[in-house]
Amino acid sequence: MVPDKAVGELLAVLGTGAYVVDARGCIVAVNAAAERLLGRSAEELVGGDAHDLLHRNARGESFPRAQCRMRPAFVAGRPAQAGLEWFERSDGSLLPVSWSLAPCGTGDDTTLMLVLFHTQSDPTVIAEQPEPSGGLLHELERLALLAEMTTQLTSTLSVDEALQRLVSLVLPRLADWAVIDLITERDEVWRTKVVHVENEALVPHRDLEGPMAPVPAESPMPLSRALRGVASTIAEPRIYERSPDTGIAVEQRRLFESTGMHSAAIAPIRGLREVLGALTLGRSERPEKFTATDLTLLEDIARRAGLALDNARLYQRQRKVAETMQRYLLPQLPRVAGLEMTARYLPAPDASHVGGDWYDAFTLADGSTALAIGDVSGHDLDAAAGMAQLRNVLRAYAWSQHEPPSRIVERVDRSMLRITDVPMATLVFATLAPGDEGRWELQWTNAGHPPPLLVTREGVARYLTEGNGMLLGTGVNPPRSDVADVLPLGSTLVLYTDGLVESPGHSIDEGLERLRRHAAALAHRPVEAFTDELLGRARPADNDDDVALLALRIGTPPQPG
């Protein structure tokens, strides 16, 4: 297991011997001071059981793990300390040490513990002294909390998830209450979270959350100053005994009255360019008031929270731009007599997967209808822009060249690397035209895309697996084949992208079978309801990709003349 980057940085700056262990007590990282004091290299220590390698009694003998004073703390994931113990150096000599340990983040879903140890020159004197009163442990816990804060907050790009992690890290370690006020992109203040520790559980108080008054330009009140980025402050209820000067002060007085907080520490949450909000920690049950030392720690926490929120907001803005661009680039469907046509686009839950899936439908010069569904490799704006380029090239060739789908796709493939920025893509391209005796004839070719699905009105569903060829953009430019079929009256043709059938936890075959069965069961539904229900039922719960879907219900084509 590789320790978190933040944990590694923490070890590097510590001046005393330090190492990190997992819940089993195995060493996962050491610093240079520990290597020097123990006379052992990191290669000798990392991966070994700390108890077996280091722990000895006063006679230099190994002793059972059950007697190890560190062991219970490892298992419980809580701080601990000891005034005198012995570590064995590489030459077999004993090193008298005092140690402290505390949780310092996670790795591979396992709690990590940071162990600091100091050498003792006179073991007899140390043995007679009481254990440290908590100053060293307080500093160790502070360092461990900040390391864990950095690790937890920088590992998500969701604003909501980052706020939830922030609250769970500060409660109940530092306070009984946590309040987060955020300034929205429209410069509105929103009390986003008010959370209280009740019976060791974190309980949100929705009645205290909601919109706040604008940030006043001159108010000296603590939260107003924090939201302007002026200063951090320790506040008490008496500050709000006089008549409030602003709407924010009115809400603050209500907060203190409702929560019973007797002491609160308030710090601005700053991003790289602007103030994003304020973090308030409050104490109502524990009697201690906040101190200047607590305020310094809160400022460090708020600073890390600001960077994490800044990144998350930037990422979500990028996602919104990609989604908006994608939606504007997707076309309006043509009105074709005898066909009911509908389409859907669902963005990925993960913003990094938005932008590559697309559909298209348009009328050709000969009166037939062109249909396309595709997926451009890449993510976000690059994929959305590439999708638009590929669609335009396809439309141009399909309109100007009166050729079967395979020949059109061959032209698109040959030109793609030269006149677009698309590296690779999959595509199904088809034409649908009215035939004899009121039937519709479908002709298609498939460039590495999931096969179209045809569902009769009786609920018989089958995949159109013929006409398969290599995906676009390989540079090979292989010949492609066409396949034709007659679509029954009342049947539904479904073109879709792989996000509807693929997921990390299931095979593609499972996804295809799930889609087929649900489509068959929904065959009697109107095409709009059919499409919505199919997306809701067939899309995997652990889907991490966007989905495009184009569905056509086959009616009676218009008669010539």
CATH number at residue 107: 3.30.450.20
In a domain, 288, yes or no: yes
In a domain, 144, yes or no: no
pLDDT of residue 324: 67
Distances in whole angstroms, Cα of residue 14 to Cα of each of 17, 115, 221, 234: 8, 11, 38, 30
pLDDT of residue 132: 38
Q: Give the model confidence (pLDDT) of 102-137 as tens digits.
A: 777 655 545 788 888 888 653 333 333 333 333 333
Place of tokens 């005198």: 84
Whole-model pTM: value is: 0.52
pLDDT of residue 362: 95
Domain encompassing residue 514: 330-554
In a domain, 539, yes or no: yes
Say whether both 173 and 52 belong to one domain.
no
Say whether both 340 and 313 belong to one domain.
no
Say whether both 220 and 248 belong to one domain.
yes
Say whether both 26 and 104 belong to one domain.
yes
In a domain, 561, yes or no: no
Say whether both 400 and 547 belong to one domain.
yes
Q: List beta partners, residue 268.
A: 278
pLDDT of residue 25: 83
Say whether both 163 and 114 belong to one domain.
no
Q: List beta partners, residue 201.
A: 198
Give me the number of domains the chain comprises. 3
In a domain, 145, yes or no: no
Say whether both 216 and 189 belong to one domain.
yes
Report yes or no: 26 and 50 within 8 Å, Cβ to Cβ: yes
Report the CATH number at residue 183: 3.30.450.40
pLDDT of residue 7: 65
In a domain, 357, yes or no: yes
pLDDT of residue 127: 38
Residue ranges of the chain whose pLDDT lies below 70: 1-10, 13, 75-77, 105-110, 120-140, 318-319, 321-330, 348-355, 379-381, 544, 559-561
Would you report the helix, strand and coil content of the chain in percent, each value rounded to 5? 35, 30, 35
Say whether both 372 and 498 belong to one domain.
yes
Say whether both 55 and 204 belong to one domain.
no
pLDDT of residue 397: 95
Say whether both 223 and 124 belong to one domain.
no
Distances in whole angstroms, Cα of residue 278 to Cα of each of 251, 263, 266: 14, 16, 7
Tokens of 480: 């492609």
Say whether both 357 and 309 belong to one domain.
no
In a domain, 140, yes or no: no
> Helices 292-329 & 380-400, crossing angle to 10 degrees?
0
Report yes or no: 310 and 271 within 8 Å, Cβ to Cβ: yes
Tokens of 293: 């030392």
Say whether both 161 and 268 belong to one domain.
yes
Place of tokens 């000891």: 82
Phi, psi of 432 (to 5 degrees): -125, 125
Q: Give the model confidence (pLDDT) of 535-556 as tens digits.
A: 999 988 777 678 999 999 999 7
Distance, C-alpha 297 to centroid of its chain:
27
pLDDT of residue 471: 94
Q: Of 320, 346, 378, which closes a domain?
A: 320
Q: Of 299, 320, 341, which closes a domain?
A: 320
In a domain, 149, yes or no: no
CA atoms of 202 and 194, how far apart (whole Å): 10
Distances in whole angstroms, Cα of residue 507 to Cα of each of 160, 466, 510, 511, 544: 31, 21, 5, 7, 14
